[in-house]
Chains A and B, each alone.
Chain A
Amino acid sequence: MKALLYRDLILSVRAGGGFGLGLAFFLIVTVLVPFGVGPQTELLARIAPGILWIGALLACLLSLDRILALDWEDGSLDLLATAPLPVESIVTVKALAHWITTGLPLVLAAPVLGVLLSLPLPAYQWVLISLAVGTPALSVIGTFGASLTVGLKRGGLLMSLLVLPLYVPTLIFGAEVARRGAEGLTVQTPLLLLAGISFGVIALLPFASAAVLRINLR
């Protein structure tokens, strides 16, 4: 399992690995929004937590089809399926590698990019915390979508359509944590629900992903 994680991380930072893809997209969204909204600092500050969350979610979505498609194309997925690793751990490691290469950089970049959106001062820590708690769920749900559509030609569109509705609860509670934090309200309830979603999908979805992946490998 360690070998697979290590290989995925190495591949993502080598040429063509797509390590900076999500991060660059996140940067583009947060740089462009202030131009689109215009010079209204108050309005911008009000929508900033939501924009950061939507940007992170879309950046995550952008890189999902690489999780399994590349291994499918060169045949390594077949070989991994006959290896002593259970398929459940393969999809878990793949989700973890995706989070480390996409989710984690987004979490770390969000406070920096918050400056561009004139994010209110009390919101910084809550944006950081809500993304740190919520992005693992995005990676795990995304791996499920990737398992469903692996092997389909141009499966990316279908995968986005399948995955986006599943992302909605995470987005709602994640953005709610950040918004309430920005307004100085208590964040306990949405934060607990967000953490609940994350832990729930981490515990359950790898089994679903493994099941659909086995069917797709036939």
Chain B
Amino acid sequence: MNLTVRDLAVTRGGIAILEGVSFDLSPREALVLRGPNGIGKTTLLRSVAGLQPAEAGTVTGAEDRIAHAGHSDGLKAMLSVTENLRFWASVFGTSDIEPALAAFDLLELRDRMAGTLSAGQKRRLGLARLMVTGRPIWVLDEPTVSLDAASVALFAEAVRAHLARGGSALMATHIDLGLAEARVLDLTPFKAGPRARAMDEAFL
């Protein structure tokens, strides 16, 4: 089943930032969103994930199929690496966390408290969470922040394995992931023109 986005318009803080965004994402496919800071990549991804209502347009095929990874990893400092993952696994109704630990090289860190991990290790744990959700569409916002080159390679490998299993990935990133098969969508042409501010936002 495809993820289909048609004529999506999104606002941030009541100001229209993107309009007329349309794309399709089919299984085994990765789409990379590009664009300068502030163009609305994060807002667009939050709309697709259903965290924020869109101003106009439709998103179909997203219901209960998206695993979203935003700027923060949603980790509890006082839970260990395995406890963090196991929690998310049981929330999403899965139980096997070993492949995720192995894929992101977390086996040696499994009993450490998440609060004692370095920024890059935390990020790897946050990305490992995507694997335990069992959801087919990964929506990733700057997934490689604070990752070193080796970890970026691990991540690209995990994404490739996810695509091979019939999943798909939608990500916003500035760096080259080495995913040759990924399509790139530049958001610059969709920048919303100056227009009257949505009047009812202040009253909602």
Contacts and interface: CB of A to CB of B under 8 A. Distances in A.
A74 B91 contact: no
How would you classify the secondary structure of chain A's contact residues: helix, strand, loop or mixed?
Answer: helix
B78 A80 contact: no
Interface string B3-41: 000000000000000000000000000000000000000
A76 B76 contact: yes
Nearest to A3: B90
A2 to B, nearest CB: 8
A199 B143 CA distance: 45
B73 A75 contact: yes
Given A78-B51, A82-B51, A82-B68, A215 B74 contact: no
Interface in A54-90: 73-76, 78-85
Given A3-B87, A74-B76, A75-B73, A81 B51 contact: yes
Contact of B52 (A7, A75, A76, A218): A218
How would you classify the secondary structure of chain B's contact residues: helix, strand, loop or mixed?
Answer: loop
Nearest to A82: B68
Contacts of B68: 78-79, 82
B118 interface: no
Contacts of A73: 72
Contacts of A81: 51
Contact of A83 (B53, B71, B75, B91): B91
B190 interface: no
A104 interface: no
Contacts of B70: 75, 78-79
Interface string B79-94: 1000100111011110
A74 B49 contact: no
Contact of B74 (A2, A3, A74): A74
A75 B74 contact: yes
A4 interface: yes
A17 to B, nearest CB: 7
A84 B49 CA distance: 13
A217 B46 CA distance: 10
Contacts of A15: 78
A75 B71 CA distance: 8
Given A79-B88, A82-B49, A85-B91, A74 B204 contact: no
A87 to B, nearest CB: 12
Nearest to A15: B78
Interface residues of B, number: 30
Interface string A180-218: 000000000000000000000000000000000001011
Contacts of A215: 204
Interface string A1-37: 0111001001100111100000000000000000000
A16 B71 CA distance: 24
A80 B49 contact: no
Nearest to B68: A82
Nearest to B113: A14
A7 B87 contact: yes
A11 to B, nearest CB: 6
B74 A11 contact: no
A70 B92 CA distance: 21
B93 A74 contact: no
A79 B74 contact: yes
A218 B91 contact: no
Interface of B: 49-53, 64, 66-68, 70-79, 83, 86-88, 90-93, 129, 133, 204
Interface of A: 2-4, 7, 10-11, 14-17, 73-76, 78-85, 215, 217-218
Across the A-B interface, give the 7 residue pairs with the lowest CB-CB distance, nearest first. Answer: A75-B72, A3-B90, A76-B74, A14-B78, A75-B74, A79-B74, A83-B91
18 contacts: A7-B87, A10-B83, A15-B78, A16-B78, A74-B74, A74-B75, A75-B71, A76-B74, A78-B74, A79-B68, A79-B88, A82-B49, A82-B51, A84-B64, A84-B92, A84-B93, A85-B91, A218-B53
